[in-house]
Amino acid sequence: MRMILSIFIALWFGYGVLSAPASLMQDKRRSFKVESVRRGSNTIYGPAALRRAYVKYGIVPTDLGLDLDDFEPIVNVATTNSSKSVVEPDQTGAVSAASVSGDAAFVSPITVGGQKFVVTFDTGSSDLWLINTRLPETSIEGRSAFDPSKSTTFENMQGSTFNITYGDDSYAYGGVGTDTIDVGGVTVAGQAIGLPTQVSASFLEDSYTNGLVGLGFSSLNTIQPQQQSSFFETIAQVLDEPVLGASLVSDGVGEYEFGIIDRTKFKGDLVNASVDASSGFWKFESAYYKVGSGELQKNDQATATIADTGTSLMLLDQHVVDAYYAKVHGATYVASATGYIYPCSAELPNFSIAIGPQHLATVPGSLLGFSEVGTNTTTGEAVCYGGIQSNQGLSMQILGDSFLKAFYVVFDLRGPSIGIASPV
Ligand SMILES: *[C@@H]1O[C@H](CO)[C@@H](O)[C@H](O)[C@H]1NC(C)=O
Ligand SMILES: *[C@@H]1O[C@H](CO)[C@@H](O)[C@H](O)[C@H]1NC(C)=O
Ligand SMILES: *[C@@H]1O[C@H](CO)[C@@H](O)[C@H](O)[C@H]1NC(C)=O
Ligand SMILES: *[C@@H]1O[C@H](CO)[C@@H](O)[C@H](O)[C@H]1NC(C)=O
Ligand SMILES: *[C@@H]1O[C@H](CO)[C@@H](O)[C@H](O)[C@H]1NC(C)=O
């Protein structure tokens, strides 16, 4: 049995061969990149990142854990003065962007109708919407808000609405228009843009971003009565190759690069899994996992796993999360933090998860701590919050930035497929 298993593992580490992609080489096609630069040293309160993810996927947490007397949480949530300090596009067509609040999110600048904004690229949704001047003045105070009346390329889509609802109490609702979007020097005209007239407070809390650019498939787009193309599917038409390469880097410089699989960004092979786009998510098969150097485990419950650049953490099936923290010295599930905490001095094991039926991707333990969340009142020791937390029974697992920043990840509309490689 042991031998069979080790042969199995050896096979799993066999690499898929990356075939040289044929370039369409049409004049108007090109690629561009958006740099992602970590900014500031503010730390995000882990449970806030988890709450945002729960809200996005409509997860209502069940409090399974204990409220510990010996755990004193940090109450104040660090906020950043985002948009003002983001580096402006440079002269070469590549634009810089910023990682905010201790990798809580990675934000990028775009230009809409000639106006510049800092937005979140989100492979977990398919609407593009912006904080805008149709919102009540008080809710947009001090923020960059898109003003359609100041754009010469804006056109209203009379009678169309978009309505994103995340969970029970979080929504963005309003009218729709089209405008010209520029990202890193590549311009696309006629992209549908949601202009909310009402948004829930939860969206206004995120002061580091002025909108969301959905990079999921168009079938998730919420525009009525006529669903519209997601930004990724729109811009794919003018790219060399219909791909997005994400090299998010923790505590460093990262980049989103559209239109090219950039061989200088990774070493070894790009392993490839086919994506089931029927739900609109970048969803693939992922039925195995491994904690540290332990044995490969089958996850019988795993129906699907998605890659989501718009979520900070990895949200996995509860039993996988339990298996992980069983290997972390002093880890405890705490209701008041809605998740696992552990002494910051504890060493975190590596975590491996299947990418398709043939490959395992290993995230080093060093990247799996997320933030400091409080103090152990008994020992005075700092208590940390892990980047792996529970999906609370959701029918899919979500690989957010805690996973993605360990790899070079290609979102490929051909197939479609997802490719993962070790960054250089
Ligand atoms: C605090 O430290 C004590 C003693 O080591 C330990 O039993 C307890 O589980 C710790 N609490 C937390 C929340 O880590
Ligand atoms: C944000 O910037 C303003 C002035 O630009 C400053 O007064 C305020 O303290 C800053 N807030 C934070 C959280 O840094
Ligand atoms: C938005 O969608 C939600 C759920 O589908 C619905 O309950 C809500 O009434 C809609 N809002 C508007 C303004 O249409
Ligand atoms: C964790 O993974 C890294 C590579 O990402 C490897 O170098 C290291 O040996 C692994 N550690 C353990 C304990 O398996
Ligand atoms: C990945 O596989 C798909 C087919 O499933 C193929 O279309 C695509 O070109 C492959 N991508 C890479 C980078 O090998």
**From first to last of its 424 residues, what are the pLDDT tens digits of the chain?**
333 333 333 333 332 222 222 222 222 334 445 544 333 334 456 677 777 777 777 677 666 556 666 666 665 443 433 333 333 322 222 333 345 555 566 667 889 999 998 888 899 999 999 999 999 988 888 888 999 999 999 999 999 999 988 655 678 899 999 999 988 888 889 999 999 999 887 777 766 778 889 999 999 999 999 999 999 999 888 888 899 999 887 766 578 888 889 899 899 999 999 999 999 999 999 999 999 999 999 998 766 899 999 888 999 999 999 999 999 999 998 877 778 999 999 999 999 999 998 899 999 999 999 888 888 888 888 888 899 999 988 899 999 988 998 999 999 999 999 999 999 8
Query: Residue 143 corresponds to which tokens in the numbers above?
Result: 């923020």
Q: Active-site residue among 103, 122, 317, 412?
A: 122
Nearest CA to ligand 3 atom 9: 163
| DSSP-derived pairing of the beta strands 369-376 and 71-73 | antiparallel
Taken in order of first residue, the domains within the chain and their CATH numbers are: 8-22+263-423 (2.40.70.10), 32-43+78-258 (2.40.70.10)
The tokens describing 138, both together, are 């008080």
* Active site annotation includes 168: no
**Separation between Cα atoms, residue 106 and residue 121, nearest integer Å:** 8
Tell whether omega for the bond before 21 is within 30 degrees of 0, i.e. cis.
no
Q: Which residues line ligand 3 (CB under 6 A)?
A: 163, 165, 173
Terminal CA-CA length for the chain: 36
Q: Any idea which ligand is nearest the CA of 269?
A: 5
Determine if ligand 1 sits within 6 Å of the CB of residue 379.
Answer: yes
CA 251 to CA 101: how far, in whole Å?
Answer: 11
Residue in 103, 206, 308, 401 annotated catalytic: 308
CA of 319 to the centre of ligand 1 (A): 22
Atom of ligand 5 nearest to the CA of 272: 1
Q: Shortest CA distance to 128 belongs to which of 141, 136, 137, 119?
A: 119
Nearest CA to ligand 5 atom 7: 415
Q: Is 98 helix (H, G, I), strand (E, B) or coil?
A: strand
How many Cβ atoms are within 10 Å of 158's Cβ, its own excluded?
Answer: 8
State if residue 292 touches ligand 4 by the CB under 6 angstroms criterion.
yes
DSSP one-letter code for 294:
S
Of the candidates 386, 370, 402, 396, the residue with the CA atom closest to the CA atom of residue 317: 396
